[in-house]
Each structure stands twice: as C-alpha cells, then as structure tokens.
Structure 1
Amino acid sequence: MEKRTLLAFALSLLVLLVWQQMFYKPPQKTKTKETAKTEGAAKPGAETKEKTTAQKVPEKKQIIDKNALLTPPPQKIAGKIVTVDTPNFRAEFSTKGGLLKSFKLRKYRESVEKDSPPKELITIKDSGYYPFLTELVKNSDAAIAYAEYKVSAEKLVVRSDKKEAKLIFSWDSPKGLRVTKTFTFYPDNYLFDMKVTLENTGTESLTDALAINMFNAPYEKEQSRLNANRVVVLNKKGLEEFNEKKIRKSSPVIPAPFKWLGYENNYFITALIPLSEDGYKVSLNLLNESSHLVRTVFLTPQFLVKPGAKTDFEVRFFVGPKDLTVLKDANYDLAKSVNFGWFDIIAKPLLWFMDYIYKYVHNYGVAIIVVTVVIKILFWPLTHKSYESMKTMKKLQPKMAAIREKYKNDREKLNQELMNLYRTYKVNPVGGCLPMILQIPVFFALYRMLYGAIELRHAPFCLWINDLSAPDRLYIGINIPYLGGLPVLTILMGISMFVQQKMTPTGGDPRQEKMMLMMPVIFTVFFVNFPSGLVLYWLVNNILSIGQQYMINKNA
C-alpha cells in the first residue's frame, strides 16, 4: 500500500501545483498557412499589397531602443476631440497628431456594477504618448508627430446599414511635406484601417522611413499573474509571447512577415495587422516600468519620394474582445489569440459546448453545471471502475497484511505473493488511481477555459454570485482579513469534498485515509481566490461523485 499512498499523494500534488509549471510558459506553437491570394483593402479580413509611387532605397540595419525616434510630447496634448461612434465602440481622436486618446467598447463594462461605464482600452494616463503617433525615422520633419491636423469631420457615426466610413486627418508642413492619415471604420466588427500618405510638395527629394507608434498600458487597474498583459505575435513559427520581463530585458525586434502582433490579456486584445509583407519590422520597448507602458513601433522600409510624388503605407487594427466568434469573423487567424496552453485542444471544444448550452439556458452558471453533468456521465464508467477497485482492495487488506507478515524478511517473495493475490482476485493495485489520471487533462482544460473565457467576465449566476470570473464573496457587514467577504461557495466545495472522501474507500491504509482527509482543507484554501465558475464546477462534480458513491455503496 506504500506505493498506492505515494501515487495518491503525487496525484493530489499534481492537481495543486502542475499549472505553476505549465500555464505560464509561452503558448504552444502552431503552424499557420500563409495565404498568397489577396483582395481589396475595403473588405475587413482581406489582405492587400502596399501601393506606393515612391522608390525604395537600400535599408540600413536599424535597432530601435526605447528612446530612439520618440518625439518628446508637449506638456499637454491639446487640440479638439473628434469622436467616432460605431455599433461596437466609441473612439476619441485628438487633432494634435491625429492621436487616439480613448477607445471604449460598448458591449463590455469596466466592472460588474450596473452603472459601470463602457470598458476603456486606452488606459494611458498623463504620459503624453498615445497610439498612432507618427514619426519620420531620419527626423526629416519632427513636427509631424504633434502637429495640429485638419480633420474631415468632428463627429463620425458609422451606421449599421452602411459599409464603411472614413475619418481623414491632414497637415501641410512648411518644409514641403503633406501628411494624410485616413482611418476607415466598419459597422459590423472591431476592425479599422489606418493609411498614412506622404506627399512631397517641396522641391527636394525625401529619403526616409515611417514609424507608426502604438502605446499600451494594462487594461485592468489591478494586474494578476493569471491575467497579465503581454505581447503576442503570430508568425510562420506559430504563436510567440513576450511578457513584460522579456521586453524589458531584450527590447526585441520582430521582422516581417507575421500575421498580426497584439497587446493582450485574457479578455481583450489590440492587434496590428500588416497589409504588406515587404520589408517592415516591429520593435518592442518598455517605456515606463511603474505604469507598465509598452511601446510598439511599426517601422516601414526606407523610401525615396521625389518632388510631386507620394507614397502611402496601410495597416489594419483589431481592438476588441477575445471572443472566439468575433475573432473568427475578423479573419487573419486572430482566433489563435485565444490560447489555453497545453490543453487548448480540449478546452476549446468545452468552451464551444458551454456557449452552445448558454443559448438555451441564458445563464453561464447553469451552463457550467450542465457541462459538469455531461462530463461526469462520460467518465462514469471509469469512476465506477475506480471505486470498485478501491473497495476490492479494502476487502483484501487482511490477506495482504498476512502476506506481509509472513514474508517480511523476503522482499522478492513478498512481491511475488502479492501479485498472485492480485491475479486471483483480478484486481489492479493502482486501478483506483489510473481512471483519475485520465480525468486530469479535462480538469486542467476546464481550469484554463473557465479562467480565460471572456464569456464568464461579469457573467452572473444567482444570489450573491454576480461574476463567474471573480472569486465568490458574500459580504455580511464584517470585513474578513485577506478575504473581505465570506467565500460561501468555496466552503461548500470543501465540505462536499470532505463528505466525498469519507464515503470513498481508500483501501484500508490508515496513512492514506489521513492524507486524503487533509485534501479538502488544502483545496479549500487553494480555491479561495479561484474564479467562482471554476469553484462551481468542482462543487457540482463533488456532489455528483457523492451520489455515485452512494449508489455503489447501496448496491454493494
């Protein structure tokens, strides 16, 4: 029984600790097929080739550190605010530089409160650096960054019955350069395009390269290890992740081609999608460690624009939720940003099934219960076999004790007689644990899915549980240290686990019984800050296991 005790203990530790090693590594790399066929840029989701009348010139190797090319901002970004309203978001631009100062998602809120404002994805405060800051690498005209641009409209409304709408910023430099930023918005998704056109209105040729800056800060006020912000790139190698530590250490430069590059957490993503495969590169820098401000620079190839000629560069952006349906509709393999790590192949079907159930029950808590019941039914034969094996082992304890006593000085003979006993009664000494091992991948897949699915963000269940993505807390007017409120669901889970352990045969080993009775306490402490959706799954699974064990004991 020593081996069975050690195996059971190892399994328990695996459930508690394995994700510490597995869930914080870079996502599994998956191969992608590069599409050669391109279509017009007017259709979101279709790739286009860069159009330019300028001549390309040989490009020198450029390494961009965190301060290179970065035009210092004025003390205050003044200028008029221009609003863009679509069915999915509201964006606010400044006429100073044509910078994006606000991007609010209409269908998502900052917090679970009913009067909470729409979710803001531009969380930069007081730095002066905002997305779409445009610069010339050789500093041909530094004023381009924060110049006062003319704008085609002070308010743009993108109606659901229209195909697209354009917002145009333009500025004429005294040095003979006309800069035009054209933003194209679509009514039915979170995609929009940015085209920068440089026209040489002077008398001398312009040789330079264009840098389009993106600045991102954490989407949530409070960061957690399990919902950390990061940069993710989808290229020919697959999905590569750059966390803040890696960006700070190496300031990586990402060469072309890649499908997209995004700043994300579990729930939201700001993705840059190149519409050309020709010569661009992207650098990543951490500008401010205290505010976690990440700078992404999209650097074009060097170009030569003669007097009277012009060149333009176009990129596409997706700024929105990491909802699989929305991402698939947007194309570009953006759906791969929803990555559940090693268990992605199991987690995504579970997510699809949970969403399918939700269509009928309209409550994600109920959907989790249904998913749990279905999983329990599927694993019922394995669990039943496990319980039966443990019961048989318990009945054999007296015979096993006698064999150990008789052959205590002959290890080889002892093992031989024990194996004969197992064969006689057709029992596997680890038969009670092996079926549970098969269920571990499903548990971890559910864990990752329930922790990262945007569907559960602010999704209510019942009574005090109003957010299945957050720990459950019942506030009783007393501030409980380290907890705030009472974790009722977690306590119920611990109690159900204790009842289950008392009903489940352990093979008669006193040491194993003591160890297993410790597990409810350990799990309760460990689960106290887990999402209530995950705790709900575990509680329902325990209740079903208690019912199954009751039926087995009754029919014994």
Structure 2
Amino acid sequence: MTDNRNMILAIVLSLAVLLGWSALSSHFFPTANPPATKTVDGKQVPVANPTASPASNAPKALRERALVLAEAPRVRIDTPALKGSINLKGARVDDLTLTRFNETIAKDSPPIRLLSPGGAKDSQYAGFGWTGQNIALPTADTVWTPSASTLTPATPVTLSWDNGQGQRFQITYRVDPDYMFTVEQSVANTAGGAIAVQPYGFISRDGVSKDPDSWTIHTGPIGVFNKLVDYDINFSTVDEAGNAGVARSSTGGWMGFTDKYWLTALIPDQAATVQAYFRVGADRHYQADFTLPATIVQPGKAVRTTARLFSGAKEVNHLDRYEDTLGIPNFGKAIDWGWFEVFEKPIFKLLDFLFKLFGNFGVAIIGLTVIIRGLMFPIAQKQFKSMAGMRAVQPKMKALQERWKDDKQKLQAEMLNLYKQEKVNPLAGCLPILLQIPIFYALYKVLLLTIEMRHQPFVLWIKDLSAPDPLTPVNLFGLLDFTPPHIIALGVLPILLGVSMWLQFKLNPQATDPVQQQMFSIMPWVLMFVMAPFAAGLQLYWLTNNILSIAQQKWLYSRHPSLKQVEAK
C-alpha cells in the first residue's frame, strides 16, 4: 500500500514538473527555432517559410514589392553581403537582402529580405534628412541626383539636391563589405543670410517582430544610451506611450529594431548630443529616430555630420569588431547575452573555432563536450568515488534510520558520525552538477541566439541543430504522413537522452527515501519530454555528456574494483 502511494505521489510530482515547465518555458526559456523540416509523404522535407521576414502583424500590402520598387529611380547596392537599392525619391535605403542567409534550408530558398519599401509587405526602411525653419528642405517626395549608379565598398555614392534658394543638400553613402553604411550629410549655404538646420535619421517598420520578446531573448526596439543598453523598451511600451513616444537623451549611442537574428540600427556621431525617440503610428507603424542639435550655417559656409546605419545579421564577430574599431558602445549587446555572458562568449568562441576546424557543427558540439569533460575529469573522479562510497554505506544508513526513527536529532548526529567514519561526503556529487549548470545554460543561449548556429546540419536526418529533432517514432519515423503534436513529438535524440539518464541514475547511489526513489526512477522519462522541444544541438551535448559520464564511471570501477566489491557487499 505504501509503495503504491509513493508511486502515485511520484507520478503526480512528475506531471507537475512536466506541465509546469511547459507553462513557463515559452516565456522564460524558449526552446528552439521552428522546425526546419516536416513530414510529407513519409519523408522529411524543408519547411517552406517559417518565420523568415523580420516583421509581422503589418497592414495588408497595397502593392507588390516589385511594383513599388519600380515606381522611383534607384541606386543599386552591391556588396559581398548585401544586395538591394537606395530609393532616390526620399533618399531612403528601403531595399536590402542578405546574400549569405536564406529563409529556409531548401536549396532554392530565397535570401533573407531585411528592408522593403513603404506600401509593400513587411516594409522596413531607413533615411536621413534635416529639419529647420524658413528654409526649403528635402522631403519624402524629393528626387535626388546620384553621382553613380551603384554603391559598392569601392565606390561611394553622393546624392545631391538644390532647393533653388541658395542651399545645396548632399547625402554621401559608403558601405563596407559586410553590413555597415557610413552616411555623411552636408548643407552648403550660398544665400545671403544664415540658416539653421537640424540633422536627423530614422528607421521605419510595419508591425512587430515574428520572433517573440521573452525573458531570454529581447526583440523589438533596442538602444544604447549613455553607454547603457536599454532592453526595457519593447513594442508594448511604445504602444502604451502613444503619441508622446518613448524618449531618450544621450551622448552618442545607437537605436533601432532587432529581431532574433537581424538588426537595423542608427548610429549617430558618438560625440554629439542626441535626442532619440521610439514612436508608433496608425496600423502599428513603428519608428526609431534621432535628432542632433540645430546648427547655424553662415553665408558661404557648409556644415557636415556623419552617422552610420547598420542593417544585417547579428554575427558575433562583426558586432564585436564594429564595437572595437568604430567605437560604438555595447554594439555586441545587440545580442541579448544576459547575465551569463562571461560563460556564453567563451563557449561561442570555442564552438566557432571547433566548427571551423571540423566543418560540422554537431562534431564541434561533441568536441566541446569532450573538452569540458576533460577539464572536469578530476572533479568527476572525486564525485564518482564519493557516490560509490555512499552506495557502500547505504545498509548502515538504513540500519541507523530504523534504529533512530523516533529521534531525528540523534539520527542526524549518528549519520554525520557515519559519514566521518566512512570518509564519504553526500554533497560531493553536487559540485560537478553545479559547474555544469552555467555551461549548459551558456550553450542553450548560444544555440538559441547566435546566427552562426542557425541551419547548421549534423548527420542523416538532423538538418538544423538549432531546431528540435524532427524524427520521431510517433509517426513511425516519417512513414506515417502526419506531424505529431508538439508535446508528444519525441525525437530520436531525446529518447536516447532519456535512456542515457536512466542508465546514469542506475549507477548513482539509491536514495534512502522511498518517494525520492520513485521520483528518480521516473525523472529520466520526465526530462525526456521536457528536453524534446529543445534544440537538437543541446540534446546532443547532454547525450554526449551522459555517455562520457557513464564511461568515466565504468572506467573508475575497472581501475578500482574494490569499490564495486564494496557496493556488492
């Protein structure tokens, strides 16, 4: 009767863990990218287009993108990383695709489109200009004259416009081989009187990000003001601010919109006093903008200001390089590393090195696991010896528990004395587990956040290690033409992980408390379901770690057979 009660209690607790985790994980610990493949006619094929474009919930497109692009003259953008164009009507950068990244893993998948013109689906664009009084200024309808037809890393393009009143406006665009534009604005005053102009820059987008904003991943409005990263601004806070917008004052800094993998950001002169805003208009049309202080331009003089525009993938090395070489404060924190950055960045650097060494990201994860286990080998040896000792003294522990079951204080004293006599420490096995927690979480964040891990294959059916394992026995490994629900879609890797955890628990000392015994017997299978929605790369790490732990413990027994003999007695 007692055993049945213990089993029922263990099952109830396990279900509470499983259901409670499912309820909390979507906000605090998003599990993985959307599946990269699906079952069609019994085969795994690439998903057509999960969440590729950077905006959603946008107003219905009024016109096809190609029609909108053809409505105005343009300057082509052609770099190793970017293709697109600058709209000469309004001098907007509103057409940009990333040549190094595709929407899906399919061979014919189109490149990621980051910027689109206003009036097209998922529009997002950037521009620069001036405000002022008693002066004719360029507007969104102004058609600029370019100095060249194509912008490349070797050929900058200057856009010019004369207002016919003695002022000539110019915007010079330069671009590097990656994702950074340098934008120089100038106003020359040939009129008889002084003028006052105020430079600005803006990013406009329709709709919120398709990537959810959570405790682990920040998406939406983002900025660095006075060298501090502001993750507190999101689409909902901008909505709540209404017409007033969310305002920030800063010396230098940067601001823009981020998705999980993509960023479009304005970087003003780092020495200038900046007034920044995040605003929302009709149909959830959002804007990030900055203005600089007004400048008086005397007759016969000119004024110039320089800003930058980043629009591209959040590749770790590129962000860090821009931060260091261009002096952009905390630009690397466009990736929301969180509190464990001190672990996450080294884990990423090591994984990136191993990936370049082996050419396969799954092999790199296995290599990382081997390195970590090697560094922790001495600690793990002490852990296993302690656990073996705990197994050996269990009969004596049970005898003490039976003898002093009515005197808890005496039992505690006798147990401590037993540990001292037998030279065992029940807490010795906790240290490796505690050390693994930040490493495991760091790898989780690296797989979740870094674009370098996106769409990286391993072997056979695993085409994307940043997505869950797609192969499951629930549909007979793809022979049945349906995709099972999320909660029961146990992949091969999670099943192997559950088996490895069960084997590992079998080698550990058995808990003396009956409820704990039942919990430990069920826990591997509960964790199997918990881990199933996570990235396959994370499952591969844990599985490899468990296999190495089991092998190390077996090796310990082979080197010290007396431990096994003592346990048998």
TM-score (norm. length: structure 1): 0.78
CA distance in 2, matches of 1:312, 1:377: 57
Structure 1 counterpart of 2:149: 154
Structure 2 counterpart of 1:28: none
Aligned residue pair count: 492
* Alignment equivalent of 2:313, drawn from 307, 321, 332: 321
CA distance in 2, matches of 1:20, 1:427: 41
Judging changes above 3 Å, is the alpha-carbon distance between structure 1 residues 201 and 91 closer, same or farther for their aligned structure 2 residues?
farther
Q: Per-residue deviation at 1:304?
A: 2.7
SS of the equivalent of 1:144 reads: coil
Amino acid at match of 1:194: V
| Sequence identity percentage | 32
CA distance in 2, matches of 1:271, 1:132: 11
Structure 1 counterpart of 2:303: 311
- Match runs of 1:290-369 below 5 Å: 293-330=285-322, 331=325, 332=327, 334-369=331-366
**Is the CA contact 2:137–2:163 (under 8 Å) kept in the aligned structure 1?**
no
- Match runs of 1:129-148 below 5 Å: 130-132=125-127, 134-136=129-131, 141=136, 144-148=139-143
Q: Per-residue deviation at 1:157?
A: 4.0
SS of the equivalent of 2:484 reads: coil
Q: Per-residue deviation at 1:137?
A: 5.8
CA distance in 1, matches of 2:274, 2:213: 34
Amino acid at match of 2:484: I
Range with bigger deviation, 259-268 or 147-156: 259-268
TM-score (norm. length: structure 2): 0.76
Range with bigger deviation, 515-524 or 545-554: 545-554
- Match runs of 1:177-188 below 5 Å: 177-186=167-176, 188=177
Structure 1 counterpart of 2:54: none
**Is the CA contact 1:170–1:180 (under 8 Å) kept in the aligned structure 2?**
yes
**Is the CA contact 1:478–1:485 (under 8 Å) kept in the aligned structure 2?**
no
CA distance in 2, matches of 1:144, 1:336: 34
SS of the equivalent of 1:130 reads: strand
Cα displacement string for residues 319-346 of structure 1 (whole angstroms, at most 9, x for unaligned residues): 2332232233332353343452211111
Structure 2 counterpart of 1:413: 410
Amino acid at match of 1:173: N
Structure 1 counterpart of 2:60: none
SS of the equivalent of 1:209 reads: strand
SS of the equivalent of 1:505 reads: coil
Range with bigger deviation, 259-268 or 443-452: 259-268
- Match runs of 1:63-462 below 5 Å: 78-122=71-115, 126=119, 130-132=125-127, 134-136=129-131, 141=136, 144-158=139-153, 164-173=154-163, 177-186=167-176, 188-200=177-189, 202=191, 205-216=194-205, 221=210, 223=212, 225=214, 227-241=217-231, 242-250=233-241, 251-287=245-281, 293-330=285-322, 331=325, 332=327, 334-462=331-459
Q: Per-residue deviation at 1:123?
A: 5.2
Which segments of 5 or more consecutive residues in structure 2 lack a partner in the other structure?
1-9, 31-66, 472-477, 565-569
**Alignment RMSD (CA, Å):** 3.6
Pair 1:543 & 2:547 matched: yes
Amino acid at match of 1:246: T
Judging changes above 3 Å, is the alpha-carbon distance between structure 1 residues 285 and 410 closer, same or farther for their aligned structure 2 residues?
same
CA distance in 1, matches of 2:161, 2:130: 13
**Is the CA contact 2:208–2:235 (under 8 Å) kept in the aligned structure 1?**
no
Amino acid at match of 1:170: S
Structure 1 counterpart of 2:6: none
* Alignment equivalent of 2:523, drawn from 519, 524, 531: 519
**Is the CA contact 1:287–1:294 (under 8 Å) kept in the aligned structure 2?**
yes
CA distance in 2, matches of 1:434, 1:157: 55
Structure 1 counterpart of 2:507: 503
Which segments of 5 or more consecutive residues in structure 1 lack a partner in the other structure?
1-5, 25-74, 159-163
SS of the equivalent of 1:165 reads: coil
Judging changes above 3 Å, is the alpha-carbon distance between structure 1 residues 21 and 388 closer, same or farther for their aligned structure 2 residues?
farther
Judging changes above 3 Å, is the alpha-carbon distance between structure 1 residues 473 and 79 closer, same or farther for their aligned structure 2 residues?
same
Cα displacement string for residues 204-257 of structure 1 (whole angstroms, at most 9, x for unaligned residues): 543342332112468975547455523433454533323323333443322221
